[in-house]
A and B are shown apart, each in its own frame.
Chain A
Amino acid sequence: MFFQEATPDTSGYMIAGYVITFVVMALYVASIYLRSRNLNQDMDTLHELEETAPPVQTKAPSQARRNSSRPESNKSAKPVTKKARRK
């Protein structure tokens, strides 16, 4: 043992390494759990909103086709008649 150096005490570094490993992994698992819980809550709220929201009024197919062929800005305006154009 005269020529051999004693093994250094580096246990502090080892403990720090393992503590950091477990903390990082625990934080990641917690983040997955929390994100999942929040999304489930959002999902429940959205389902409730979907149930309470009034049903969307659907137009007759022929009217819908006519509306879709017109430009967006003119959709709410009345159709221009020949009479009105002459005026």
Chain B
Amino acid sequence: MQAKPLTLRILDIVSIVLLAIATYLALVFAPTELVMGDVQRVFYFHIGTAWTALLGFILAAVFSVAYLVTKDLKWDRLQVASIEVSLVFFLITIVLGSIWARPAWNTWWTWDPRLTTAAVTELIYVAYFMLRQGIDDPDKRARFGAVYALVGGLSAPITFFAIRLFRTIHPVVIGGTNPEADGGFSMTPDMRVAFFFALFAFTVIFVDLFWNRIRLGDLQDKVEQLKLKLSM
């Protein structure tokens, strides 16, 4: 069994500590928003997970280009790791958004441009794993995966800019001036502290999970190679 590097062990611990501090800041330190009440506190984790997930999808598109240029399977493993972690984070984003929407908009879900593009993005990457499952040849799987992730990567900026380009009820909390938006609010200095700390914490947690998932991919590759060697 390959031992975990010391840096990764430290990063694991740092991630847990940062998550605990981010939770404290969101639940205790930040003041209660007067119009929406406590449900507004999910905003800190909603944005934190959304930011890292969209970043991860864009990173995956970059890894796809690297794979298509070099044909090195290392890039394929990085791409899979990035998409898997982002998929989990984006699922949290969507669920938190839905929970926030219930008291703010009086509905769990509505086919608003932002919500629709977010749902489409999530489904695109669920389909990515289904596609990979159906291909046995590692090179072919990597090639198809790279092209798919490259095209799918376009959905990340579309989702991000959806609230800035289209008429939507989703609020733009930072720099937002949309009069149609519902559920928006102005951040106090304490809210900003909780918000930026959550962004930082989730970025570190993403890096930690990403690294762990890359190691898992390497191990999968070794086992596959050993199986092939023994079957010959």
Q: Does B209 contact A (CB under 8 A)?
A: yes
The interface bits of chain A over 1-36 (1 if a CB of B lies within 8 angstroms of the residue's CB, else 0) are 000000111110110111011001100110010011
Q: Binding site of B, secondary structure by majority: helix, strand, loop or mixed?
A: helix
Count of residues in B whose CB is under 8 Å from the partner chain: 40
> How extensive is the interface on chain A, given as a class?
20 to 34
> Assuming the A-B contacts A39-B216, A46-B227, are A13 and B34 also in contact, with contact meaning beta carbons closer than 8 angstroms in the complex?
no
Q: Is the CB of B226 within 8 A of A11?
A: no
Residue of B nearest to A27 (CB): B88
> Assuming the A-B contacts A13-B103, A50-B230, A53-B230, are A24 and B38 also in contact, with contact meaning beta carbons closer than 8 angstroms in the complex?
no
> Assuming the A-B contacts A10-B103, A13-B42, are A32 and B213 also in contact, with contact meaning beta carbons closer than 8 angstroms in the complex?
yes
Min Cβ gap A47→B in Å is 8
Query: Once the chains are docked, how many angstroms separate the CA of A18 from the CA of B212?
Result: 24
Q: Is the CB of A40 within 8 A of B1?
A: yes
Q: Which of B100, B102, B226 has the most CB of A within 10 A?
A: B226
Q: Is the CB of A9 within 8 A of B37?
A: yes
Q: Is the CB of B38 within 8 A of A14?
A: yes
> Assuming the A-B contacts A32-B209, A36-B219, A53-B230, are A20 and B38 also in contact, with contact meaning beta carbons closer than 8 angstroms in the complex?
no
> Assuming the A-B contacts A32-B212, A50-B230, are A24 and B92 also in contact, with contact meaning beta carbons closer than 8 angstroms in the complex?
yes
Q: Is the CB of B216 within 8 A of A7?
A: no
Min Cβ gap B117→A in Å is 21
Q: Is the CB of A21 within 8 A of B45?
A: yes
Q: Is the CB of B230 within 8 A of A10?
A: no
Min Cβ gap B73→A in Å is 17
Among B1-34, those with CB < 8 Å from A are: 1-2, 23, 27, 32-34
Q: Is the CB of A20 within 8 A of B36?
A: no
Q: Is the CB of B96 within 8 A of A21?
A: yes
Q: Binding site of A, secondary structure by majority: helix, strand, loop or mixed?
A: helix
Name B226's contact: one of A25, A40, A50 (CB within 8 Å).
A50
Q: Is the CB of A17 within 8 A of B103?
A: no
Name A14's contact: one of B35, B39, B212, B227 (CB within 8 Å).
B39
Contacts of A47 in B (CB 8 A): 226
Q: Is the CB of A35 within 8 A of B230?
A: no
Contacts of B102 in A (CB 8 A): 13
- Can you name 12 A-B pairs with beta carbons within 8 Å? A9-B37, A11-B37, A13-B103, A14-B42, A17-B39, A17-B99, A18-B45, A43-B219, A43-B226, A44-B1, A46-B223, A46-B227
> Which B residues are closer than 8 A to A by beta carbons?
1-2, 23, 27, 32-42, 45, 49, 85, 88, 91-92, 95-96, 99-100, 102-103, 209, 212-213, 215-216, 219-220, 222-223, 226-227, 229-230
The 7 closest A-B pairs by CB, nearest first: A10-B39, A17-B42, A10-B37, A11-B38, A13-B39, A14-B38, A17-B99
